[in-house]
Amino acid sequence: MRESKRALRERILANRATLDARALATDALSLRDSLLEIPEFARATRVAAYVSVGTEPGTGPLIEQLSENGVEILLPVVLPDFDLDWAVYRGPDSLTRAPRGLLEPSGPTAGPGAVADVDAVIVPALAVDRHGTRLGKGAGCYDRVLARLAGRIPAFVLLHDGEILDIPIPREPHDIAVDTVITPSGRHHL
């Protein structure tokens, strides 16, 4: 199980390494537009997101637009046990370099439970299969987040096209299925 997830992560990351900056930037605009067309998302006044780095599906334009619209954005801060704490986004200058190449918000944190008090959550992933099983980076951060949402708060997984897999992703008891994926080509229901 662990080994097949690891091999799959490596394959996805190798493929992401071939994506160029221009395509990533254009795709980030499509991701923003697709999300803002979703009524549950467009109505949100408080969302949890993440600051994309490297070849991840880009959240820059989305965060900028939400911020301009007056939406409160919670961003994750990784805790020592890989659980996530949350702090409110206060503009690009408020982000600081964190371990593993991440960008995290500076300023007071609201506690891991704060993510259960938003209107929508943007979830990072490496891949999702047709059953909604999600493959993350392997620290279990978002498995814990999804458990806290308890299906009450809509979660939107961002992926590149081609990362919704026809082959099943190995599923462990803690893996919580997701049902909506956004890629640059649009919204996908699983």
Supply the minimum distance, in Å, between the C-beta of residue 105 and ligand FFO: 11
Supply the minimum distance, in Å, between the C-beta of residue 114 and ligand ATP: 17
Under the criterion CB under 6 A, does residue 16 sit at the interface with ligand ATP? no
Residues 6+ apart with CB under 8 A from 67: 73, 89, 91
User: 172 a known binding residue?
Assistant: no
Exposed (0-12), middle (13-18) or buried (19+): which is 112, by Cβ within 10 Å? Answer: middle
User: 178 a known binding residue?
Assistant: no
Q: Return the CA Rg of the chain.
A: 15
> What does 52 interact with, of ligand FFO, ligand ATP, none (CB < 5 to 8 A by kind)?
ligand FFO
Residues 6+ apart with CB under 8 A from 68: none
Cα angle 10-135-65, degrees, rounded to a multiple of 5: 105
In the DSSP assignment, the letter for residue 170 is P
Under the criterion CB under 6 A, does residue 102 sit at the interface with ligand FFO? yes
Site string for ligand ATP, 78-117 (x = CB under 6 A): ----------------------------------------
- Calpha distance 27→39 (Å, rounded): 21
User: 7 a known binding residue?
Assistant: yes
Distances (CA, A) of 97 to 93, 94, 142, 180: 11, 10, 20, 30
Supply the minimum distance, in Å, between the C-beta of residue 144 and ligand ATP: 4
Three-state DSSP class for residue 48: strand
Site string for ligand FFO, 103-132 (x = CB under 6 A): ---------------------x--------
User: Please, which residue, 30 or 52, has the CB nearer to ligand FFO?
Assistant: 52
The interface with ligand ATP within residues 153-182 (CB under 6 A) comprises: 172, 174-175
Under the criterion CB under 6 A, does residue 144 sit at the interface with ligand ATP? yes
> What does 35 interact with, of ligand ATP, ligand FFO, none (CB < 5 to 8 A by kind)?
none
